[in-house]
Structures are given as C-alpha cells and as structure tokens.
Amino acid sequence: MGSKSPMSVNKSQTPAWMKVVIIMVAASFAVGGVAVIFAGALGGGTPAQQSSTGGGLFAESYQPRVDAALIAIQSNPDNPDVVAQAGHAYYEWAAEVYQSGQAAASVPFWLSAVSYYDQVLAMRPDDEVVLGNKAFALYYASSPDAAAALEAFLDGAAGSQALAQQLETAQQMLAEVNAQAAPVAPDGTSEETVTP
C-alpha cells in the first residue's frame, strides 16, 4: 500500500468540558500513578499493555488520555461525543505508532479506534468526521472492511466543503484498495469484467 500518512482528528470539535475532564484525569494519573489500576479495572488492558512493541513507546503520551476517555464513557456511555473521544485517542496513538515505522504494531490501536467509532455511529450514523476516521483507521490497519468504510464516508460526507481534502484522500485510498483487490490474469495484467 505505498506510503501513507494518517489524517488528523479534528480536535476543534471537542467540547470544552471534555477537554477539562481529560486534563484533570490525566493530571491525577500523573501525580497519583493510578493509571495502571484504572486500566486493569476497565478490563483487558489497552493495546499498549497487550503488546510489548510499538504502542508501548508512546504509552506515556497516550495512555492517560485513553484512560480519561474510558472513565468519561463509564459516566456518560450514551453521549456520542464522549465515546468519540476514546476513538480519537486511539486514532492518534495509532497514527503516532504508524508514523514511527511500526505499521504492524499500530493495527491494534487502529482497531480500538474503530470499535469506539462504531459505537458512535450506532448512536449518530451521520457523523461525517467519525465516518472518515473509521474509514482511514481501517485502511491503515489493512482491514478487508476498508473499502466499504471508505465508500460509506464518501457517500455520507459527499459535498462537504469542510472535509473536501479528506474526501479526496478517501477517493485515492478507495482506488488503491480496489486496484489491489482486482483479479490478476495469468499474464500479470488485471482482469476487467466488461458488461455487454
């Protein structure tokens, strides 16, 4: 899949109260050293705790943000904006690991982001940013679901001026995914089905 550069999460849409909660919880983790306790209590640990490569290198930067988002979700699980923050935290963590040259180690983070984005989309199916982030995460994770997610984003955000660059990128990604999925003829050329 050539060189990829993950798209950024639009943090300008994060509510001020969520930023305050995340900062306060992150500060309490740094001072009290309780991040490990909360992560264990939330069940199963995070991708960084499950993998000794890649993500662990950036855990100090991203683990407090993930933990804060998970605590906020426990308090307000039906708020799509709160749930999206967990997805955004994992997305940015994945992007950092991916850009460090550890594409394979980034996959659990991309998929964690997708799991939270799916929860948001179950509550708010027309969230264009979440549709885009989910599509890009699946693309960078080399998921077989990437094409469908890219198509959903292109359809859901069609005509959006605010997401014009992301839509263009998604079209390029979809073309790449479709080209890789095209059957190859015995002579090495791609077979194209022609309908009469």
What confidence tens digit (pLDDT) does each residue in 110-130 have? Answer: 999 999 999 999 999 999 999
Q: How confident is the model at residue 81 (pLDDT cuts 50, 70, 90)?
A: very high
Specify the length of the chain in residues: 196
Exposed / middle / buried, residue 70 (Cβ in 10 Å: 0-12, 13-18, 19+): buried
Identify the pLDDT of residue 52.
Answer: 40
| Mean pLDDT value across residues 81-97 | 96
* The residue type at 84: A
pTM over 0.85: no
Identify the pLDDT of residue 189.
Answer: 57
**Phi, psi dihedrals of residue 184, rounded to the nearest 5°:** -110, 130
Q: How confident is the model at residue 186 (pLDDT cuts 50, 70, 90)?
A: low
| Mean pLDDT value across residues 10-27 | 48
**Higher local confidence (pLDDT), 108 or 53:** 108
Q: How confident is the model at residue 1 (pLDDT cuts 50, 70, 90)?
A: very low
| Mean pLDDT value across residues 133-139 | 98
Token digits for 57?
């290198």
- Render pLDDT for 22-55 as a digit per residue (tens, 0 to 9): 444 444 333 333 332 233 333 344 554 444 444 5
| Mean pLDDT value across residues 82-102 | 96
Nearest-angstrom CA–CA distance, 181 and 163: 26
Nearest-angstrom CA–CA distance, 117 and 179: 26
